[in-house]
Structure 1
Amino acid sequence: MPRLHSLIAGLGALSALAAPLLHPHPSGSTDRVTPGAVRVESSSHVRITLLDDRGVIKQLARDYDVDLAKGSGFTVTPDGVVVTATQVVQAAEDPRVYAANRVFAEYFKVKIPADFKRHSLDDVDLDRRLQACYPPQQTDSTCIADVTTNVSVYPYLDPPPPGGLPAQILTAGTSPASPAVLKVTKGGEKQSLPTVPLGTTIGGAVESLDVMSLPGRPSAKTPPKLDTAHLDPPGSRTFKERDKVAKLLDEGAPGAALIDDGKSEVVGFVSGGGGEPATITPADDIRSALVAAGVTPRRGAVDVVYENALASYHNKLYSGAIPALQQVLNLRPDHAVAADHLRVAQSKQGTAEDAGAKPAARPVAVTPPKSSVPLYVWAAGGVAVLALLAVGVVLLRRRSTARPGTGGETDPGAAAPGAAAQGEFAGEAGSYPPPENSWPPYAVTRVFGAEAARSPDVVGPPPAPVPADPSPPGGHSYPADLSPAHGHAHPEEPSPPRGHSYPPNPSPPRGQAQLKFCTQCGMRLGQGHRFCGFCGNPADS
């Protein structure tokens, strides 16, 4: 079997050979342009008057409507400015010739075809009068004709406007391929017609184009037709598929927009057909014609909202595209492409195709690398660490309960019943719990006095309290009438209730060390200890 790298190399070589044969179409979206497609139909209304000067002068007036041409075009402003080819609104045949044949045959009762050709008659006098009826009009003409060109624009809307939108010609060129600029006279007042993004030129790298034509009046069932064509060489003005483009022109493609697939914008239009070669009119010429007509191409609010909806729709975020497409239809209810996209988005909402309905992927948990050390080794190490911690705790407790300078003797007051009875709660094993109303829970109150100094071996009633120092605080003496020697007590010194005596002095009795407790954990501190043996908190804090 061939190895994997040999297969990869073979596939790479095959793709390199097939690359020139691939269809060079970028991911451009033509539905960014199709809403602005229009069908253009033009006709001429001829009012002609025939003069008969034989004997008494007589006149015969008739009106004729003559179809000129049909083609495609596109809208460049939201108020209805349309660009198409001049050949769509200006036919090569003169409608006055058609009207002259019709009116002369009717009045003189002769056989003349109803077409756009100039004919002759065998009767010399009638033939002279017929030739004088054809344009151009002169002083001896026997016919007076007045021609009005009517242009109707059919936008790609659903439902389509009945009869289209009437338009007038702002400017037209001198050749069939020249740009013709039209302006609708009704239907663009709200400035909400869909438009196309108009480019600036056909770049040298442009090779693939889409021809957007409308062979018939557009509707939801007859959308614009998109056909792929290529420039040969890229950036030129000639098509590689000449026969294909000529067929499109005969079917109604004159004035059809050329869409650059790479940028999804209109870079020109095509004209020709009827025996004439296909001609590309670039965006440069289109913009020049717009300037001559006093028009600046621009896009409207409907186009902005629609393109925002396309961003979600093409990314298959159908749930998010639905409200945006609905907003487009609120601004323009007959927007055909938005209505079609909305139906598709609603049918796919919440399905597997809806990328907006899929739950967010959960982050993949990172698996820690496996250790090569066996599990029992870790267990044995943990047990050893716990044993060392237990030994350390025991040594620290013994050290904290040893009196300094006594060779390791324990403090007799640590286990004295009187100390526990006086409210000494250090939290050690065997100590009494603090009362429920103590605050904070680790606070300990100790009363220093004769009871605290008693030895746990002495049995009997406690000694009488030492009388308080009768001298006033701060080294001051009482007045003569209030001193204790005269039988008067200090007015601010309240007497204790019966059966109780207050400690005479908050300081410990002479010869007895003052007990200290940790302010962090409440445990008793040994004499001379600078740190708590249980929590490590500094003794001076």
Structure 2
Amino acid sequence: MARLTALAGGAALALTVTLALVALPVAAHEHPSGITDLVTPAVVRVEAKARVDITLLDHVGDLVHVERSYDVPIGVGTGTVVSPEGAIVTLTRVVKSEQDVAVHAANRIFAEHHDVRIPADFERHSLKDDVLDRHLKQCYPPLSSRATCIIDVTTDITVFPNVSPADPKGLKADLVKAGPRPDSPAVLMTSSRVVGSVGLPTAPLADKVPEAAGAPAGVAGFLGRPGPDVPYTVEIAHLGRGGGSGETGRPFADPDKKVDEPVKLAGLADRGMRGAPVIGDKDGHVVGMLIGGGKAARMIGVREITGALTKAGIAPRRGAIDAAFEAALTRYHTKYHTEAAPGFQRVLELYPGNVVAAALLKESLAKRGGPEDLGARKAAAPADGPTPLWPFIVAAAVLFVVAALGAFVLWRRGRAAEPEPVPPPSATTQPSPAGLPLDEGASQTVVVRRSQPFAVIPRQKQAPAALGSPPEASIAYCTACGMRLGQAHRFCGYCGHPSET
């Protein structure tokens, strides 16, 4: 019975597994190698300039106050949004100049007002005229009580997000924390309203830099202000050996040595991709930032980025846009275009103008219902009617029959292996001399002869019960086994011993 119950349970379990496999949903997807779509919506163009308001106090002739305002470019580069509120990381050299913009403004206002030849640069110059030369030097910072200039410098940082149509004005941002070196991370925070009501799309930060030499990565950024003719640029790179932390950074190196990657990436840095995120190949997260220029580009690691954010008191996090976009992106990369299209539409509702979501939505709509769309089968299932149940009923019947046959075979084997019970002796069965029951079902009579002295037991006489009744015959017993003998028996009916010897 126990075997029967176990077999029936196994059949039920097999049927349950079969039904579960039919209704099994699509497994969670790990992003394929080389993906950069998680980061590119959060890539922005950063432009910084210094606004210098300068007043020249001309004491050479009549006292004259000359006022001028100059916009002095500080730097351009690429930044990455790391929180929906608008926290952005870039390089310090992009938003803070190593040169003194006050000196530049002093050179320009002196040249314009006094009509002298002074280069409009950041160097301190001298003039042949002693009076003008003294007044020029008193205009340069640091300012003193005898200064001939009053200078006020403010930094103007503008962030241009990756949206379509392009935002010509951009978003204003404030410098929250600058690094100690030009290639240290700097943290910005947008000060103007962002597009949409749930903030900006963000990029996920990796836990660490890949340790393996030659690990593939992507570098994404802008070579100009975003627009129809200036889309974001993605370039493939490979991490070299060692480094990755501190001011030295980590080099790039093509493992096949077909491309001089330090020179290639340095050219991109000089053209506007300084501070661009370096995207890991494994899961598409940011592992560092592009630094350098000239003929040597390198990468500072993600630990420097998170360290700068900690000092600025900002915690990187993901938002509602990112959750919707990543869900749609998963369906897109698993070729479920029918399901991916509504997901990208939801992203555009949350953040209108998302360039990456718009491009992927267009592609998903083009492939929806086609041979590449795995979701088309699921979408076509309701039009063809419900899934027939007869295959499952037949499978269940077959499993039940197999279980029943197996249980019957096990039951038969168990019956054959069990010994037949010995029936208890009845009241009329005479015991053998050894105390065992007699074998009445024997197929052959075995005659056992013994030679023992024969003793005649005298017959007992009984008185007649009444007049006219015959006398009762005497009773005789076998001298070999003790069984009762009939009057006409010549042999014992049990052991075969002759009644008379």
- TM exceeds 0.5? yes
Paired residues of 2:263 and 2:294 also in contact (CA < 8 A): no
Task: Please name the residue that 2:231 is paired with.
Answer: 223
Task: Please name the residue that 2:435 is paired with.
Answer: none
Verify: 1:262 aligned to 2:282, yes or no: yes
Distance in 2 between the 1:326 and 1:108 partners?
61
TM-score, structure 2 as length reference: 0.64
Verify: 1:239 aligned to 2:252, yes or no: yes
> Tell me, what secondary structure is at the counterpart of 1:251?
helix
CA gap of 1:86–1:235, structure 2 versus 1, over 3 A, is: closer
Output the aligned Cα RMSD: 2.3
Task: Please name the residue that 1:196 is paired with.
Answer: 203
Verify: 1:350 aligned to 2:394, yes or no: no
Spell out, residue by residue over 1:9-46, the C-alpha distance to the aligned partner (whole angstroms, 9 max, x if none): xxxxxxxxxxxxxxxx9614111111000000001100
Distance in 2 between the 1:190 and 1:152 partners?
20
Distance in 1 between the 2:352 and 2:45 partners?
20
> Tell me, what secondary structure is at the counterpart of 1:209?
strand
Spell out, residue by residue over 1:430-485, the C-alpha distance to the aligned partner (whole angstroms, 9 max, x if none): xxxxxxxxxxxxxxxxxxxxxxxxxxxxxxxxxxxxxxxxxxxxxxxxxxxxxxxx
Spell out, residue by residue over 1:192-248, the C-alpha distance to the aligned partner (whole angstroms, 9 max, x if none): 211100113213136212111210112455332111111222775111121112111
Task: Please name the residue that 2:292 is paired with.
Answer: 272
TM superposition shift of 1:64: 0.8
Aligned length: 339
Task: Please name the residue that 2:328 is paired with.
Answer: 309
Unaligned runs of 5+ in 2: 1-30, 245-249, 254-260, 382-386, 392-501
Task: Please name the residue that 2:125 is paired with.
Answer: 119
Distance in 2 between the 1:173 and 1:150 partners?
18
Distance in 2 between the 1:90 and 1:31 partners?
30
Q: Identify which of 318, 322, 340 aligns with 1:321.
A: 340
Q: Identify which of 177, 182, 200 aligns with 2:183.
A: 177
Task: Please name the residue that 1:139 is paired with.
Answer: 145
TM superposition shift of 1:57: 3.3
Paired residues of 1:157 and 1:220 also in contact (CA < 8 A): no
Task: Please name the residue that 1:45 is paired with.
Answer: 51
Unaligned runs of 5+ in 1: 1-24, 366-541
Distance in 2 between the 1:244 and 1:184 partners?
31
1:480-491 equivalent positions in 2, closer than 5 A: none
Q: Identify which of 204, 207, 210 aligns with 2:218.
A: 210
Task: Please name the residue that 1:248 is paired with.
Answer: 268
Paired residues of 1:203 and 1:235 also in contact (CA < 8 A): no
Paired residues of 1:80 and 1:191 also in contact (CA < 8 A): no
Distance in 2 between the 1:145 and 1:248 partners?
35
Query: Which one has more relative contact order, counting CA pairs under 8 Å at least 6 apart?
Result: 2
> Which range moves more in the overlay, 46-55 or 33-42?
46-55
Counterpart AA for 2:119: P
Task: Please name the residue that 1:156 is paired with.
Answer: 162
Q: Percent identity?
A: 46
TM superposition shift of 1:55: 5.9
- Compare CA radii of gyration and give the structure with the larger one: 1
Paired residues of 2:78 and 2:272 also in contact (CA < 8 A): yes
1:29-68 equivalent positions in 2, closer than 5 A: 29-54=35-60, 56-68=62-74
TM superposition shift of 1:107: 1.7
TM superposition shift of 1:278: 2.8
Counterpart AA for 2:251: T
Counterpart AA for 1:280: M
Counterpart AA for 1:238: P
Distance in 2 between the 1:323 and 1:235 partners?
44
Spell out, residue by residue over 1:350-380, the C-alpha distance to the aligned partner (whole angstroms, 9 max, x if none): 11121211479999x9xxxxxxxxxxxxxxx
> Tell me, what secondary structure is at the counterpart of 2:317?
coil
> Tell me, what secondary structure is at the counterpart of 2:358?
helix
CA gap of 1:321–1:302, structure 2 versus 1, over 3 A, is: same
CA gap of 1:235–1:96, structure 2 versus 1, over 3 A, is: closer
